Amino acid sequence: MRNIAAQLNQLAMGKSSNSALVILAFFAIYVIWGSTYLLNKIAVLELEPFMLAGCRFTVAGLCIFLLAKIMGISLSITKKQLWNTIIAGVLFLSIGNGFVVWALRYVDTGFAALEISAQPLIILLLMRILQGKKIQPMSMVGVLLGILGIYLLVSQKQIIAQEESILGMVTIFFCLVCWAYASLFVAKADLPTNYFVNTGYQMFFAGIILGLMSLAFGEEWSSPLGWSTEVQVSMLLLVFLGSIVAFTSFNYLLKAVSPEKVATSTYVNPIVALLLGWYFLDEQITLQSIVAAVILLTGVYFINTKKTLAIFERFKR
């Protein structure tokens, strides 16, 4: 138990570059994060979306607090840090994730993952608009390819013909903007130095806000005992693997390896989501979706060049 606690503490503080931990962390951000689209889709077909996301993040936050206490990590933060974690949690999770879960009722998991993979494009554009950051030539190529890829993705007949699909698509784009703005906010915000603690506060308060949103929208709450076995398993995986393990692994990798290696998750997650959605939910993978994916992810690759990543790193400091 002490060894497990020590490894979790290393992940939380980003102090170790142990090769086994690095491999496991990459598995988490590649496969576990890629599978959360499927898990959310399974759960949201039975549960109310904001109740689902609220339960997930509140429980995950409480579990992180418990683990922190077991590992002897202090949970004390300043008032400023508290407000910043609440703001980040609302932007990232209450809005950025909660509405994606809602949108999964109307769009396929693979489509959602591909649209979300355009996040570096949105961040780059917001940096240009809000901070006046100059877009590098290679990144400009990536922006143009990204726009073309998104157009090919959303212009498919089966999407245009369904009003609910368009609503889901627009909702996910709104979530992308919130995620991008939150990324710029946390880059300069005063937050807890321990990523485990930071994540715990963000998830806990985001879960509380999502619960209030659920009540405001008049969602019907249900007991976990009444959920189907598939939904119960999906929720457990979302809480412990998708929320705690994967998010902590992501923050650990940002310290343990180069940022361009961490950015490769942007290319792998949509592929994992597409394959899992096709295999488990019989979701259709069209030729146009494949072409759009190749163009979009190529654009993301150009955006994630070393020069562009260097700008992000300087901005984060």
The widest CA-to-CA distance across the chain, in whole angstroms, is: 56
Predicted confidence at residue 305, as pLDDT, reads 65
Say how far apart CA 99 and CA 242 lie, in whole Å. 17
Q: Could you give the 3-state DSSP secondary structure of residue 74? A: coil
Predicted confidence at residue 313, as pLDDT, reads 45
pTM for this one?
Answer: 0.86
**How many CB atoms within 10 Å of residue 150?**
21
Say how far apart CA 96 and CA 99 lie, in whole Å. 6
Residue written as token pair 């998708």: 242
List, for residues 67-102, the tens digit of each pLDDT value: 899 889 999 999 999 999 999 999 999 999 999 999
Say how far apart CA 57 and CA 18 lie, in whole Å. 29
The H or E element spanning position 246 is helix 246-256
Nearest residue to 289 (alpha-carbon basis) of 175, 157, 163:
157
End-to-end CA distance of the chain: 35
Predicted confidence at residue 1, as pLDDT, reads 47
Residue 144 structure tokens: 């143009």
Find all residues with CB under 8 Å of 33, minimum gap 6, and list them: 242, 246, 250, 265, 269
Question: What single letter denotes the amino acid at residue 102?
Answer: W
User: Residue 267: how many CA atoms within 13 Å on its side-chain side?
Assistant: 15
- In order along its 317 residues, the chain shows pLDDT tens digits of 455 555 556 555 555 557 888 888 899 999 999 999 999 999 999 999 999 999 999 999 999 999 899 889 999 999 999 999 999 999 999 999 999 999 999 999 988 999 998 888 888 888 889 888 888 888 888 889 999 998 888 888 777 667 788 899 999 999 999 988 998 898 889 999 887 898 899 999 999 999 999 999 999 999 999 999 999 999 999 999 999 888 778 877 867 776 667 777 888 899 999 999 999 999 988 899 899 999 999 988 888 765 455 444 444 43
Say how far apart CA 302 and CA 298 lie, in whole Å. 6
- Residue 283 gets the label, from left (phi > 0), alpha (psi -120 to 50) or beta, of beta
**How many CB atoms within 10 Å of residue 209?**
22
Considering only CA atoms, give the Rg of the chain: 19
